[in-house]
Structure 1
């Protein structure tokens, strides 16, 4: 059972300027970042195009050990700036690396921090480490992520062979039909992803932020 409800939190937005334009990155801090006896953990959510909410259980570390946990919505969704008027080429790894670097500096955590990246967040964490070689990065945790997009596609394709045709078609169609894609993702995840029944609200909220009714699929549509 999560203990995060009793964990003190703060939240806000960070101005993020990229290529001459300024956006806002929403963040939430569990615990006390000024407590330098514990290295803060920064959570990087998946997608691209999801939001931080499904990673909130990481904040149990704050209640258990006093470790500050920082979660944020990457640019393009959630409570960060939505940017619908940019071409697909705008959404690059460089963009998200720069946003993470900006957040760390704003929070004063750049001198000592850990990263945990889930799925696409693991790719982002690895790219951040390689591209910036930050002296303050103490640990990088890559969770349920991928080293090769081509191998990931092959692996998912193999898993889908045991699913009904409508699930396979929904995954293959991807963002061309978000309703069918959402149904297929839920079916796939029920076996090979989020196996909790019923699915947690934070998981569904994070998924729907990108592919649900009323969600913003901008980043997910980008290559």
Structure 2
């Protein structure tokens, strides 16, 4: 793999409720002092997937010279892990992750230079929740396969389940089957390979993201639940679109034709955000950053280069 100018480091994060010192790991690709272009901050999904699968954004530095900041959100990857906070609904909140994002931006002194946010799935929800606050320095945001409404997302997943083979659907919809057992895991894999990432083989960085969720499920289990297709955690009633009229930043919406986040789950963003463009990629499901990589990167590059 090619090497690029940049830095890697850890930032102290003040989280009194954690009961121990916390840190955020980050990696900057590019040199902020040698460009007039505003950097991208990549917000990964999950919560808890880690930054690994977002690394394909590096091409935007290669071809467009846009610096990129990757980081692992608290609770996963190289940042502080908090398995003891499993199920702690007062700990795992949007406010926690927004505080972490603010801390990162201030550490890198991005308020004056400006920055963009590219958020995928949960990362897009976080980007929107942050943009609602109209933070100083935010220029543009990309919301990739980010639900505008979790009740609508649950409805979308029900429709996608109905498209699966009857036996698979029966297993996944059963409330009696052991979710940790091999039968459920096999059926769940069918859903993941159909509506989350249908590439064969699944790219290694995407596999790492899935592995992170299994190994460090505290945030994901508390906020989402124990499966991708049924939100039973604290996010289940979230309706981000209701505040989206407060978003001043120009916004690009992206989702896939075979996405678990179907069009009607993205539409409230389109209706609510003032300056917005929406493109559905015909070849992709949820992980469009890999499934239709050239078009995804071209769309993001064109959108973010036109400052």
TM-score (norm 1): 0.87
2:28 matched to 1:29?
yes
Corresponding residue of 1:116: 118
Give the SS at the match of 2:132. Answer: helix
The offset of 1:62, in angstroms, is 0.5
TM-fit CA distance, 1:181: 6.2
**Structure-2 residue corresponding to 1:49:** 48
What is the CA-CA distance between 1:166 and the residue it aligns to? 3.5
Query: Aligned residue for 1:146?
Result: 147
CA RMSD of aligned residues (A): 2.4
Deviation per residue, 1:146-172 (Å, 9 max, x gap): 110000010011011122334663477
Distance 2:185 2:120 in 1: 19
Q: Deviations over 1:92-115 (max 9, x none)?
A: 000000000001111112330000
1:75-114 matches, cutoff 5 A = 75-86=74-85, 87-111=88-112, 112-114=114-116
Provide the rounded CA distance (Å) in 1 between the counterparts of 2:75 and 2:8: 18
Measured after TM superposition, the shift of residue 9 of structure 1 is: 4.0
Partner of 1:188: 191
Q: Secondary structure of the equivalent of 1:58?
A: helix
Does residue 219 in structure 1 map to residue 227 in structure 2?
no
Change (3 A) 1:18 1:171: farther
Larger Rg: 2
Asked whether the 8 Å contact 2:162–2:169 carries over to 1, the reply is no
Q: CA deviation at 1:179?
A: 6.2
Aligned partners of 2:97 and 2:184: how far apart in 1? 25
- Which ranges of structure 1 fall in alignment gaps of 5 or more residues? none
Deviation at 1:135, TM superposition (A): 2.1
- Counterpart Cα distance in 1 of 2:161 and 2:131: 32
Tell which deviates more after alignment, 105-114 or 140-149: 105-114
The whole-number CA distance in structure 2 between the counterparts of 1:92 and 1:185 is 26
Task: Find the counterpart in structure 2 of residue 11 from structure 1.
Answer: 8
Q: Deviations over 1:28-81 (max 9, x none)?
A: 111112234111000100011111000000011011111101111110011100
| SS of equivalent to 1:25 | strand
Alpha-carbon distance in structure 2 between the residues aligned to 1:175 and 1:71: 36
Alpha-carbon distance, 1:10 to partner? 2.4
TM-score using structure 2 length: 0.65
1:170–1:5 CA distance, 2 compared to 1 (3 A): farther
CA distance in structure 2 between the aligned counterparts of 1:142 and 1:168, rounded to whole angstroms:
32
Q: 1:190 to 1:147 in 2, by over 3 A?
A: same
Partner residue, 2:203: 200
Task: Mark the runs of 5 or more structure 2 residues left unpaired by the alignment.
Answer: 224-307
Alpha-carbon distance between aligned partners in 1 of 2:174 and 2:49, rounded to the nearest angstrom: 19
Counterparts in 2 of 1:167 and 1:16: CA distance versus 1, 3 Å: farther
SS at match of 2:32: coil
Q: CA deviation at 1:190?
A: 2.3
